[in-house]
Each structure stands twice: as structure tokens, then as C-alpha cells.
Structure 1
Amino acid sequence: MASISATGFLPQSLTLSTATARASTRRPIACLSVQLQQQQPPSQRIERRKIMVIGAVGLVAPALYDSSNGEIEMAMAASSGFTDIPALRGKDYGKTKMRYPDYTETVSGLQYKDLRVGDGPTPKMGDTVVVDWDGYTIGYYGRIFEARNKTKGGSFVGDDKDFFKFRLGSQEVIPAFEEAITGMALGGVRRIIVPPELGYPDNDFNKSGPKPTTFSGQRALDFVLRNQGLIDKTLLFDIELLKIIPN
């Protein structure tokens, strides 16, 4: 039974070659095994069986690991919508600052990429802006804590959420959020990578916006922000600038 379950995880090419080799060598091995068993006492037969089992496991395990490891990584990379973060694989758990390709980095350390460049005016300090946004704990399994445009996912139930509105320069939102919107044009959509120092304050996570509009979203965000362990608190936001209300 163990050999059947192990073969089930092997790539098709390796499975076929293993089966072919097994078929071609089955009879000589069986004959040799019978002859040895007839010549050996029962105690030595039991020990020989143990050795054969251990040897088989030792031969299969490296092949299984080497052949499947690359395919698993390729599948994980293909299923992810974000760029791979090598720092998350190491013991620093993403503490090393990552430079994302195709993103512009500002002096503050904010990284952004315009998914859609707006064709309207740019807001000024003191203006009130209306935005739609979504957020992800990109440094911790890419969990969504706010869905843009409308609610998404089984845990995000209810009517479509209201748009988020705030005044630039009022310190109502995290530094990265305000910096990103200040450089946007009306109608644009911008994706930003937020390092912990530009995110939610350590002393009060709920002090600054934007805040998730669902209980599930708030819980997902709080889990990362409140954790004192080795969890990367890097966040990702998509922001759409919908309206500018002049001061």
C-alpha cells in the first residue's frame, strides 16, 4: 500500500520509467529472493526483509523529492497573482526589504505601479478625495482584508460597501495611502506596496484609515498587525481615485 500511494505523487514520466523497470526485473529478483529464503533460517529472513524495505525507501525518497520539488514550486508560482518574494523563504520571514520589479520606489520607501493612469486633475492638500480600494496582507499568505468595487469571497457577505472619503493632509489615513493618492490623477488606479513603517501605527492599529468594512477583513488585518512574532507586515493596496472635492 505504501508503494502505491508514493507512486501517486510521482510525475508521469518517473512513474512510467519506474513501472517499466519493475516489470523488467520482477522475475530475477523474485527467483533470487526465493532461493535466499530457502537457504536462510527464519530469523535471518526477517532481518533481510527489513533491510530490503529500508533500502527501497531510501531509493524512492530522493527520486520523489527531486522530481516533485520543482513541479510544486512551479505550480505555486503559477497560481500566485503576485511576484515571488524570496525573503519569505529564509529565516528572516520577509524582514529583508524587497525591491519589486516594475514598481517605482519613492524616497520614503513606498513602491507603486499605475494599473491605470487617470486623465483628470490631481488632488491637492486640503482637498477631499473619494476612493475605492482593496487590501492584502501580501507578506503573510496574501490574505485579502478589503475587496474593491464590491464584496468578494465567502467570508465577505453583505451589500456593496460605501466608498472611502477623507481629506488630504488631515492625517486620517496611513502615510503610504496619502502619499499614493497625492500623486494620482482622477480616474487612475494605483497599486502600492506598503512597508510596516508607512502602514498602520504600532500603538493603535485602528487609529488610522483606511479600515476594513467587514468583520472578517478586520480580523484578517488585526491578526497580522497584532502579531509580535516573525510575521512580515508588508501590505498591498489597490486604490482607485473616483472623485476630488476641492477645499
Structure 2
Amino acid sequence: MYETLEITREGGVATLWMNRPDVHNAFNEQLIAELTVACRALDADDSVRVVVLAGRGKSFSAGADLNWMRRAADASVEENLHDARKLAGMLRTLAEMQKPTIARVHGAALGGGMGLASACDICIASEGAVFATSEVKFGIIPSAISPYVIRAIGSRQAHRYFQTAERISAARAADLGLAHEAVPADQLDATVQGVVTALLQGGPRSQAAAKDLIRAVADRPVSDEVVEDTARRIATLRATPEAKEGLAAFLDKRPAAWVPAKQ
């Protein structure tokens, strides 16, 4: 079904592998289009609880494919706008998935690769991973990825890294808030699995509601409108079957219905 992606499944976890290892999983039109389609399909699949985004080969993603960039340099403004909208749409699709998303980052996560890591809910990086918003070195800007990178590291840090294009180590990425953890390479998969296990304990509808809550509340002052909105959100959720099951499971000292059975 996909030429630039591979999807593996284990239980309720789908791992979305970018599969262009010969070019370090760099973006081109096809990878952008296939990521968009795959994210939508996985988000609509009730059997999927968690989506892990990863890269085959030596890197997570090295950003834009050089051949794609060469074509863009010769294209018209309208043609470039069309491509930019596709990239921006893919990142938004990933960022707004209802399912929890984890970026499993190793090797290079440059330009758009850093954007992908930022667009995921959670980022776990190998200690050898390297991030950068490298666009200014090519005379462009990290425009499509900027909402997600700024959300992750803040505008103050973005002022530095958007202009310097400095390489950011995994440890520094963790300090900045871009990566939630930076771990030894041989512990990367185990750490991702630990986060997956924790996510599978939560109710899927409440997790989707939690993501929507963050989007509604983040960076807003505590106003009457925000207080009322948050009150209505919890009141609405308390009446759902999922919330009733969660409370019943807690009182009965048993796993909730959505928790996978132990193997």
C-alpha cells in the first residue's frame, strides 16, 4: 500500500516506519502524501491505541530531500505554495491525531525531521540523536514546522536555533523540552515500550479529550471563559461509559476494560 512507509502492529500499537533509509528518510512529495494518508487511517482505526513514529536505517529523518529542494528552487511561487500546504497539512494531521503519538528518534532529526518529533505528543530520543532547524543554511526558514517546534521549545529558544541552525544534542533537546527523555541507544526501544505500557492504561476517549484540552487551554490566561470551558469538559466526560467503567474498575480493584490483558 505504501512505498515510503512500513507499518508494523503489535496489540494496540502501530509503529509507522519511514522507510527511505538510503536518503535518511528525507521528505519528498510521496513521503509527505503517504504520511498524511497513514496518519488519518491509523487515527480512524479503533484497534489502534498508540502510534509510534520511527525511521528505518541510520536516521529518524534528515528533513527535505535534496532533489525535492532542487525542484522547488526552479518552481513558481504557486507551485511552492502547493507543496508547502501539503507539508503543513501532514504535520497538522500528525499533531492533531486523537491517538497518543510517540516519536522514536535516533540519528538525525533535522529540519522537517525535528518538526515531526515536535508534532508528536511524546519524544524519546537516543543519546546519539541530533536535532536542528537547519533551514537558514539553505536560505529558507522552518516555516511549516514552526508551530510545533515553538510549542516544544518556546519562542525564546526558537529565536536562537531558528537563526543559528546549530546542532542540538539529545541531552540538550531534553533540557529544552523537545525530547521528554534522552536514553542510551540500547535502551531506546525499552523506554518507548515503557511509555506505551503507561499509555495503554488510560482510557482512549479520555486521552483524546486530554489532547483537546491542552489545545484549548495552553497559553491562555485563566479567564471566566476558560474556567467554564474546563468545568464543562469534565462534567461531560464524567457521564460517559468510559468514565463509568474507569471508576468501577478502580472501586472493584480490577483493570479497566480497555487495558490489554497481560501476556
Q: TM-score, normalised by structure 2?
A: 0.19
The structure with the larger Rg is 1
Greater share of residues in helix: 2
TM-score by length of 1: 0.20
